Structure 1
Amino acid sequence: MMAGLTLADFVARNAGFAPHKVALRCDGAALTYAGFSARIESLARALSRRFQLGRGDRIAHLGLNSPELLVLLYACARLGAMLVPMNWRLAVPELAFMIGDAEPKLLAIESRFLGHLQALRAAAPAMGVIGLDDEAAGGVSIEALLAEAPRQPLLTEASFADPLLLVYTSGTTGRPKGALLTQEALHWNAVASAHMHGLSAADHVLTVLPMFHVGGLNIQTTPALQMGATVTLHPRFAPGAMLAAIATERPSLTVLVPATLQAILEHKDFADTDLSSLRAVTTGSIIVPEALVEALAERGVRLIQVYGATETGPVSVYERFDLPRDRRDTTGLPGLSVEMRILDDAGHELGAGLPGEIALRGPGLFSGYWRNEEATQAAFRDNWFLSGDIGMVDADGYLYVRDRKKNVIISGGENIYPAEIERVILEFPGVSECAVIGVPDPRWQETPVALIVPRQGAVLALDRLEAHLAANLARFKLPRRILLRDTLPRNAMGKVQHFALKAELSEVPATG
């Protein structure tokens, strides 16, 4: 632990080394490291004087990606306060639950979301309001705050030990939980990211994923700012705008999930866009179709995988950009500061080739769930974080993620991993997305059912699809039913809600 330092000091040090270097670009505007550091310090002083924001206080953010979000983050680091980045895709009652749970002293909000303000204020009546792009109703604009910042130096006892992020999990099965990440956790996350990507001050990161999620915020964005690199922000993902930015701004690194990567590959401008500036594209998902890896490789771009969760920072297990990809479907090795074990249900460590729950520990992991000691205790066993994911390692320690533990189908005494079946289905031409769930069966306990969304304009030949599955899967893994759908239910983070599909189909009898 670094006593007396905060993450804001890294930005200040980078400003000292290269004051005129661009730290952030967004919507055609640029902010140098000197300007970025000055705004952080001014905002911290203003928040301290006007709102008495200090150690342990929370400030929620509701808005698209912007430099202001990052200024707020590092101002919180300077004060020892916590930023609560809120998912603007959520319904108002979901946002109100988070506000009521976190009880932030302040809400920083974009004008486009002011229609939510009355309901959010009802959840935390004492909460003040800051307008990110204008004066919010009954509040003050962030620019007015910066203008009134006092000149006196800020005296604070903030440190690396202070929680900095309160990030709510996606809540695929119930109420979301607020995971606490300290400044130290973000520092070690940045160290791991630098090791993974070869990240340096010479890099240019393009951030298009939402920063209310640790994937958009912490895989490359905050690590780049710790290293003194340049970050270009897009308010939200748009494939055409991203391809134009790659062509004109020449970033070296970016992060995409498989769905956004697929949108890039299918865009009309993809074939003609010069991708040569990209050293790597990073992705993270239980399922990364091999077709995506190959499509980028054909254009000379390496796709590297990272495994993690909100609770792990998220960078914990990863591939290195500069090492040969000689293992298919692996997520890589544990990072510099992470230990990993594969455990059985009794907590015993399993050897190579045996599937079990992935357990992790290290200084980059979360410190617990906000005001939820029961959930915190359930998440750890002997100081190891239980991920809820099933995986196995090979003889060299490389991790292969199989599926979420709660999604495993038990059929005739055999464990079936839906993600394995989904991976094979996604290899079939004309499939856009799919989900496999287990439904009750009087003979086998459960049997797999596949729900498939065809690509637009595609007509799936189900007999050929069934033959493809039979050629690539053991007989007991074959779906007993294949259902075509227009869409799949997803939560606000884009994750398929398997529990909703399971509830919908639990009364459907298995056939065959």
Structure 2
Amino acid sequence: MTPALLAAEREALRAAGVAAGDRVGWLGLNHPSMLACLAACEEAGVALVPLNWRLSAAELQWISEDAGLRLVRCGPPAGATAPSPAARPARGAADVRVIAYTSGTTGRPKGAMLTAAAVQTNIRHGISLFGLTREDRVLTVLPLFHMGGLAIQTLPALVAGAQVILHPRFDADAFFDAMVQDRPTLSLLVPAVMAALVAHPRWAGADLSCLRAVGAGSSDVPPDLIAAFHAKGVPVQQVYGMTESGPIAIAQSVEEALAHPGSIGFPVGGCEARIAADGEIQLRGPNLFAGYRNDAAATAAAFTEDGWFRTGDAGRQDAEGRFWFTDRLKHLIISGGENIAPAELERVLLSAPGVREAAVVGRPDARWGEVPVAVVVPGEGFDEAAVLRHFEGRLARFKHPRAVVTAASLPRTALGKVQVAALRALVAG
């Protein structure tokens, strides 16, 4: 990020009449101008809304309207269509600095509002967790439209005075080239990226000695991927959290990563974590979001009566108090680090010709972790290819079902609820 970029973003906000309390969207591949836009918004008391360029135009338009965007700033083309800004909203909530939209079990994205205090807390967590200093070089390959890519290492690195090597998007060859040319000291990966690197022809001969560690998260990290990086002398520090937690909540130190691979570590400073009676991991602390925009009901449902955030993930603690992730309680599919809400796909499926009933579930996948698969009770005029084509233009391509499995009926409980475990067994077969 250069002074010229920051000046350009300041002028863009001024020219559009953006003022404190407004919301500004940013759409594009990773680029320093996005970080400059965030800085300009911070100065102006404006909330930045990172937009996922992988979404369809219809999805981006819905987020734009829900967020009440005053302006959309665009970076280098990413193949997505910028939404039209909505009418200027009423001002308020000036302390909200980032509104990050995340898929929920209801299927509609929810805007998690992160205050300046939450963002700053997360930055302190990142600096402490990775021991960031001015001498570091952080390679960012994950998308900045996700809080993980933006806030786990990138923002902490900038605040610490470290150099950030920003790739437009993940590319395995560019990653290996960076190991030779830039010699980064840290990077943040997700399991799908780790798997792509380990399977790449350049992996065997790659020199990763410049890396003192990599962070990893977004979904459960397979032990074989951890072992592959450890075999090259690179500790894999697992980071547990989600958009609503800033995202860093529970994490491993380098020592923990080497001594207890597979665990997610201990709560970071100032954040509390507990295992509820039903096995759910619950969080509390200054890093948590301030609620979902325009959704008081979802905000209330996200917290217990005594103020703990319900993560929707199951876990356990060992005798020494470290946490281990065991399963997801929320019915979400995580594919390549992206959250996919089955309900969102089911809404589209049920509008397709020849579909009487439908449900969506994740199927394990070697490359992406899991992928969505549709289970359909066919009706008159059913055509599998037509059902898959029905998703074009309605949802982002990464959300499209990879296959359609037909069934005479959906497995349900006595109360009529679809049995997710039975669906998973059905698509696995």
Q: Which residue of 1 aligns with 2:253?
A: 320
Cα separation, 2, equivalents of 1:72 and 1:504 = 52
Q: Which amino acid aligns with 2:410?
A: S
Q: Which moved more, 1:56-65 or 1:500-509?
A: 500-509
Q: Which residue of 1 aligns with 2:9?
A: 43
Provide the aligned length of Structure 1 versus Structure 2: 362
User: Any gaps of 5 or more consecutive residues in structure 2?
Assistant: 335-341, 343-360, 368-387, 412-421
Q: Which amino acid aligns with 1:405?
A: L
Corresponding residue to 1:56 among 2, 16, 21: 21
Distance change >3 Å, CA 293–CA 202, structure 1 → 2? same
Cα separation, 1, equivalents of 2:160 and 2:118 = 16
Paired residues of 2:235 and 2:257 also in contact (CA < 8 A): no
SS at match of 1:200: coil
Q: CA deviation at 1:41?
A: 5.4
Q: Which residue of 2 aligns with 1:332?
A: 265
Q: Which residue of 2 aligns with 1:139?
A: none
Q: Which residue of 1 aligns with 2:325?
A: 401
Q: Which amino acid aligns with 1:506?
A: L
Q: CA deviation at 1:43?
A: 3.3
Q: Deviations over 1:57-84 (max 9, x none)?
A: 0111110000000000011111110111
Asked if 1:224 is matched to 2:157, the reply is yes
Q: For 1:90-489, list aligned pairs within 5 A.
A: 90-110=55-75, 112=77, 116-117=81-82, 120-121=83-84, 124=86, 162-171=95-104, 173-323=106-256, 325-344=258-277, 356-381=279-304, 382-407=306-331, 451-453=363-365
Q: Deviations over 1:39-66 (max 9, x none)?
A: 435633x245322312210111110000
Q: CA deviation at 1:92?
A: 1.2
Paired residues of 2:314 and 2:326 also in contact (CA < 8 A): yes
Distance change >3 Å, CA 386–CA 450, structure 1 → 2? closer
Q: Deviations over 1:437-484 (max 9, x none)?
A: 9xxxxxxxxxxx9945568xxxxxxxxxxxxxxxxxxxxxxxxxxxxx
Give the alignment's TM-score, normalised by structure 1: 0.64
Distance change >3 Å, CA 280–CA 115, structure 1 → 2? closer
SS at match of 1:368: coil
Distance change >3 Å, CA 293–CA 100, structure 1 → 2? same
Percent same amino acid at aligned positions?
41
Q: Which moved more, 1:51-60 or 1:69-78?
A: 51-60
Q: Deviations over 1:150-180 (max 9, x none)?
A: xxxxxxxx99x71111100024541010001
Cα separation, 2, equivalents of 1:405 and 1:188 = 27
Q: CA deviation at 1:226?
A: 1.0
Distance change >3 Å, CA 391–CA 453, structure 1 → 2? closer
Paired residues of 1:87 and 1:492 also in contact (CA < 8 A): no
SS at match of 2:48: strand
Paired residues of 1:185 and 1:363 also in contact (CA < 8 A): yes
Paired residues of 2:95 and 2:116 also in contact (CA < 8 A): yes
Paired residues of 1:284 and 1:305 also in contact (CA < 8 A): yes
Q: Which amino acid aligns with 2:327?
A: D
Q: Deviations over 1:7-45 (max 9, x none)?
A: xxxxxxxxxxxxxxxxxxxxxxxx5xxx34x6435633x
Q: Which residue of 2 aligns with 1:461?
A: none
Give the alignment's TM-score, normalised by structure 2: 0.76
Q: CA deviation at 1:312?
A: 0.4
Q: Which amino acid aligns with 1:40?
A: L
Cα separation, 2, equivalents of 1:504 and 1:222 = 51
Q: Which amino acid aligns with 1:387?
A: T
User: Any gaps of 5 or more consecutive residues in structure 1?
Assistant: 1-30, 128-157, 346-355, 409-417, 420-436, 438-448, 456-486
Cα separation, 2, equivalents of 1:310 and 1:324 = 23
Q: Which amino acid aligns with 1:331?
A: I
Cα separation, 1, equivalents of 2:70 and 2:211 = 41
SS at match of 2:289: coil
Q: CA deviation at 1:273?
A: 2.2
Distance change >3 Å, CA 48–CA 233, structure 1 → 2? closer
- Calculate the aligned-residue CA RMSD, in Å: 3.4
Cα separation, 1, equivalents of 2:408 and 2:124 = 44
Q: Rg: which structure is higher?
A: 1
Cα separation, 2, equivalents of 1:502 and 1:215 = 36
Q: Which residue of 2 aligns with 1:506?
A: 410
Q: CA deviation at 1:404?
A: 1.4
SS at match of 1:325: helix
Cα separation, 1, equivalents of 2:408 and 2:216 = 31
